[in-house]
Chains A and B, each alone.
Chain A
């Protein structure tokens, strides 16, 4: 499978990465090189193979359903580019 420039622009939109015409053109070539490389997986017969879902065979650890942490609003917003009274500030979303 290979991608065209329109697909690359659509994927960039999904990935929330702004691309201009030149970027999109360059990326089309790069992505096709990688997709061409992974194409060899088609040689492998995977019929009846269960996909790997966990690296180590173990039951997922669960913690008690209780509040164990919190009250750190100031720490959480400390690294944000724009905040006000422990809220993250973003451009207007709703008119």
Chain B
């Protein structure tokens, strides 16, 4: 039975409708896989066995009656950042100890309404702040991928490390994730999976624990481009509960797959050719360019002059918004409380005990750049630079560019507890150098597996589209996937 977990959503959906197996059988196969793998991979922080079986049973009834939604009976993993009613929701943080919301996020509500089954909650960097999943209160996630002839444990990337590892390791058919600076696309690239960061405003943020509200977007991590398109269709919606949700009908993303890219203009930004870029990444990028050319697309060299400033501007804007959003964790309304001699002492002790090092670091930076006398020099300046970054993209799209092709990450997966990265926070931040521009400009981006490095580890390419043109990403991403093939780790766990 265990090979039921190897089916993509598209395959499982057909087989469920054809009654080749039931959702309960499929769900049990996943639950057994999780129970066996989680001690090694640590991808799940909570497994909802009973709820999963109950949801699968209800799906089987609907399937038997010839009914059911687009994801009927498909078992999914949910990033711990999404509020799930009555179920563990702690954003990978100690400060949300015991939090079980009394409401359901819009994105997960959409998935359940389409018939999906929840397997449990997935590990992540604390409050989505990290690029390796090592800042989680629940410990690091181990990447299902290992280098050839090497048993060293590697990170799956972050912050959606649990989501990426669970999808790559066959512990869910697909997963929800969120992306503030690269948290969907970077882990997808490091695990050989497909990750989509939609346009800001496409998926509702309601019920998602807030990190940086002007940058956060929910999106899927899936085994292939088609599954990502299927997930997107369900996750995206127009939501009156989110004032930044954009009034725009959700298209049938799957229909974009297989459409020709002949004559499309694919932009190659010169500024992404960074100093010290590994030769392997350079070659991967060139391969991607060749694939697009072979498929009939026109390759156009473009310039996005403010690229270099996206990451430093991000490290002002994101911590500033985080310091404000995380002010709510005060030991009063939910989660951890550490007693103090008065209320201020209680706040300070609760937050000191409840937040991990990276979160404290970012709250401190955010508090500093927003504090009296520094606002103009830092925050206002960063928001002006952000306007310039956005304009760079607007200019190339106005010139007729349909999508932009770049590498997804500057390297393959690195080791857990990497010395260099733990010594210097900025080194870790550089992981997001190719992805963060997209969040700053509010654009959609997709990471698609494109090859393996010399050590046998997956590498990804990124495509960036115009606002609300996710269809273009599925269309062009599918071309990369067709040319590159799919990549799976050897099971060792």
Cβ contacts A1-39/B at 8 Å (1 or 0 each): 101000110011111111100000001001101110111
Among B312, B364, B385, B442, which residue has its beta carbon within 8 angstroms of that of A15? Answer: B364
Provide the bound-state CA to CA distance between A8 and B341, in Å: 23
Among B201, B355, B388, which residue has its beta carbon within 8 angstroms of that of A55? Answer: B201
Q: Is the CB of A55 within 8 A of B442?
A: yes
Cβ contacts B354-372/A at 8 Å (1 or 0 each): 0100001101110110010
Q: Is the CB of B243 within 8 A of A27?
A: no
Q: Is the CB of A46 within 8 A of B385?
A: yes
Q: CB-CB < 8 A to B311: which residues of A?
A: 37
Q: Is the CB of A31 within 8 A of B240?
A: no
Q: What residues of chain A have their CB less than 8 Å away from a CB belonging to chain B?
A: 1, 3, 7-8, 11-19, 27, 30-31, 33-35, 37-41, 43-44, 46, 49-53, 55-56, 58, 60-61, 63, 72, 75-76, 78-82, 88, 90-93
Q: Is the CB of B383 within 8 A of A52?
A: yes
Bin the interface of chain B by size: 35 or more
Provide the bound-state CA to CA distance between A31 and B369, in Å: 11
A-B contact pairs, 15 of them (CB 8 A): A11-B364, A14-B367, A15-B367, A18-B349, A18-B351, A37-B429, A38-B378, A41-B312, A51-B380, A52-B386, A52-B390, A61-B245, A78-B100, A90-B332, A91-B343
B491 within 8 A of A: no
Q: What residues of chain B have their CB less than 8 Å away from a CB belonging to chain A?
A: 98-103, 199-201, 214, 240, 243-247, 306, 308-309, 311-313, 315-316, 323, 327, 330-337, 339-349, 351-352, 355, 360-361, 363-365, 367-368, 371, 374, 377-378, 380-388, 390, 424-426, 429, 442, 467
Provide the bound-state CA to CA distance between A16 and B332, in Å: 14
Task: Tell me how far the C-beta of B481 lies from the nearest C-beta in chain A, rounded to whole angstroms.
Answer: 29
Provide the bound-state CA to CA distance between A77 and B315, in Å: 34
Among A14, A19, A41, A76, which residue has its beta carbon within 8 angstroms of that of B381? Answer: A41
Q: Is the CB of A81 within 8 A of B331?
A: yes
Residue of A nearest to B360 (CB): A17
Task: Tell me how far the C-beta of B349 lies from the nearest C-beta in chain A, rounded to whole angstroms.
Answer: 5
Most buried by B among A43, A46, A52: A52
Q: Is the CB of B351 within 8 A of A17?
A: yes
Contact status of A41 and B313, CB under 8 A, knowing A34-B425, A52-B390, A91-B346? yes
Most buried by B among A16, A72, A79: A16
Provide the bound-state CA to CA distance between A80 and B337, in Å: 9
Among B214, B331, B364, B467, which residue has its beta carbon within 8 angstroms of that of A8? Answer: B364
Q: Is the CB of A52 within 8 A of B387?
A: yes
Task: Tell me how far the C-beta of B469 lies from the nearest C-beta in chain A, rounded to whole angstroms.
Answer: 13
Q: Is the CB of B384 within 8 A of A46?
A: yes
Q: Is the CB of A44 within 8 A of B385?
A: yes
Task: Tell me how far the C-beta of B33 lies from the nearest C-beta in chain A, rounded to whole angstroms.
Answer: 31
Q: CB-CB < 8 A to B343: which residues of A?
A: 90-93
Among A11, A14, A56, A88, which residue has its beta carbon within 8 angstroms of that of B332? Answer: A88
Q: CB-CB < 8 A to A15: which residues of B?
A: 323, 351, 363-364, 367
